[in-house]
Amino acid sequence: MNPRLIVSMAPPYHQVRLPYMTFQSSSGPLHNLYDYLVGMNRKTPELENSHVAESWSVSPDTKTWTFELKEGIPYYINGRASEYFFTPEDVRWTWLLQAGLESDRSNNSGTWRPRAGTVNNITYEGNTLTWNLPIIQPDFNIYLSENWTFGLISKEYWDAVGGEEGYIDHPIGMGAFSFVDYVDDEHFLLEKNVGHYRKEPEFNELQFLWNKELATIMALLLTDEAHIVMLPSDLFDEAQYRGMKIAKSTLPSFYMWGAIPWYLPESRRGEPTPNYDETAPTRNPMVRHALNLAIDRNHINDSFFNGDAAPLAVTHFAEWWDFFKDEWAPVPGPTGETGAAGGWPYPYDPDRARQLLTEAGYPNGFNLDFFAPTNLGGLPEIPDVAEAITAMWEDIGINVNLTISAYAPIQSQVTDRAMTGKIFMIRWSLNPPSVGMRWIWRKATRPYYEYPFITEWKENYDTIADSRTRKSLAQDLGDFWRNEHLSIPLLWVFGKAVFNPEVLVGYEVNHVHFGPVRYHEYTKPVYR
């Protein structure tokens, strides 16, 4: 018997073979091929020593991190341990790639360069690796973990195959599966690594079938041509009627929100902001407040998520953080709770929304460009949710021009800072406050927001190591975000996958990445 596990879902936004070439959420399927310095618990956000770091410690000022590394871990080729073994030099080389110093294809150079300084900041003796940072960084181990893109690259193999192009042609890693083939918009095929140092998979092969059409994905599941799929919630009943089961993550996976970009007249490099307009309605906090009051969040939850999503009160903030303020979520949520226990940030009050628009100078509404991406993994519901929100905004007198498209053209406008007066739907995974602001401040590579308060807050926050002070400052940021109505906070959504119980004993959906993309070494087949 030679079972193949087949997963069908929309293709990642970045279809690449090396982790540093993509960003956090789109790196998901690559986690089957690569291992990381720091592991992460499959069911909680806790970091752990399941990957190549046996342990780690940090200095009181959080600038010096020390890692004790495991020995004798091989890279795998064609399902077997190869002649290449992990060394501390691979950590340094992976950082050089992430920081864009040895590749011009890094998607993360803006994140890595200021944190890592120069290559001389990484030293090692035996299996002890020391990383000296030029800045305070209490969250640094997150960047080195499964939560990010720090999939380890073999320096020795890189040199043996002639560099980046050779590594792309046949990438190797220390993950539970080996590379076989990758065809853009078609599939990603891997084979299990026999005797893997962490966990040998029970399926001999793992294949991702990329499909953009939901009907095709459903058909593949029902005809046993796929065993785990990603579908929107409104198809769950049909799938269950056909005998399929739904797997759900133990924690919310990501949050859905509407970004309301706000720019300064010039970028930090001096280029003029395209379409800059200080009079744009969305720059007025009363207008942003009205937009939020016009949304019936319970209706969205019930209609598109079977009432199973949880309220998001402040974008980028988690209700389970110990410094979350109950006052940020004063409206009873789906279970009747308020505050951190599950409250909404805004009531559904279209009459008050209309009044606010009048007070802001828009008694007859205004024209609003609104964008919804079709291919953000884990949330195929976004276009339908955007259509519902469009109807709610039009109900208070706003003339909404809704554009539903792939994410690429939306991202292009974001990258060009051309979103003044516009709103776009997006989903993010949770990160600590400063990490979460990486696109939300003046110095970001592709900033959504250039509010001086946020930039000043981040520059100050990133100089402080004391945890109590950082919590207080995080609350200040949450207050500003909430009181200025800077975005459209919507829902926390759990990761879900539909699977065939005649093929799989079960599947555990991880809460960090979007959909059934990883930890397939733990997926158990039903032997028939």
Closest CA to 289 of 279, 277, 281: 281
Q: Which residues sit opposite 75 in a β-bridge?
A: none
Same domain, 228 and 285: no
For residues 371 and 383, the answer to whether their CB atoms sit within 8 Å is no
DSSP code per residue over 101-121:
SS-TT-S-HHHHHHHH--GGG
Cα–Cα–Cα angle for 375, 378, 379, rounded to 5 degrees: 65
Same domain, 263 and 397: yes
For residues 406 and 375, the answer to whether their CB atoms sit within 8 Å is yes
Same domain, 187 and 315: no
CATH of the domain at 54: 3.40.190.10
Same domain, 329 and 461: yes
Closest CA to 428 of 343, 492, 340, 333: 492
* Distance separating alpha carbons of residues 394 and 396, to the nearest angstrom: 5
* Distance separating alpha carbons of residues 264 and 415, to the nearest angstrom: 15
SS3 state of residue 320: coil
Tell me the pTM. 0.83
Same domain, 230 and 166: yes
Cα–Cα–Cα angle for 480, 481, 484, rounded to 5 degrees: 75
Same domain, 122 and 37: yes
Residue 149 Cα to chain centre, angstroms? 11
| Domain count within the chain | 2
For residues 258 and 425, the answer to whether their CB atoms sit within 8 Å is yes
Same domain, 173 and 298: no
Which residues lie below 8 Å from residue 182, measured CB to CB, with a gap of 6+? Answer: 15, 17, 188, 189
Same domain, 152 and 207: yes
- Go through 209-218 and write b for each residue having 16 or more CB atoms within 10 A of its CB, e for each that does not: bbbeebeebb
Average pLDDT per block of 10 residues along the chain, 528 residues long: 84 88 83 95 86 96 95 97 97 93 86 70 92 88 89 98 97 98 96 97 96 90 94 88 91 90 93 94 98 98 92 94 96 95 97 98 97 83 95 98 93 92 92 83 85 94 91 96 97 91 86 79 84
For residues 53 and 68, the answer to whether their CB atoms sit within 8 Å is yes
Q: What pLDDT sits at residue 446?
A: 78
CATH of the domain at 390: 3.10.105.10
Closest CA to 86 of 42, 34, 132, 32: 34
Domain with 455 in it = 252-493
* Distance separating alpha carbons of residues 371 and 439, to the nearest angstrom: 18
Same domain, 454 and 510: no
Q: What pLDDT sits at residue 46?
A: 85
Same domain, 134 and 217: yes
Which residues lie below 8 Å from residue 409, measured CB to CB, with a gap of 6+? Answer: none
* Distance separating alpha carbons of residues 137 and 116, to the nearest angstrom: 10
For residues 7 and 227, the answer to whether their CB atoms sit within 8 Å is yes
* Distance separating alpha carbons of residues 203 and 191, to the nearest angstrom: 8
Same domain, 270 and 389: yes
For residues 198 and 70, the answer to whether their CB atoms sit within 8 Å is no
Same domain, 231 and 258: no
For the chain, how many residues are written? 528
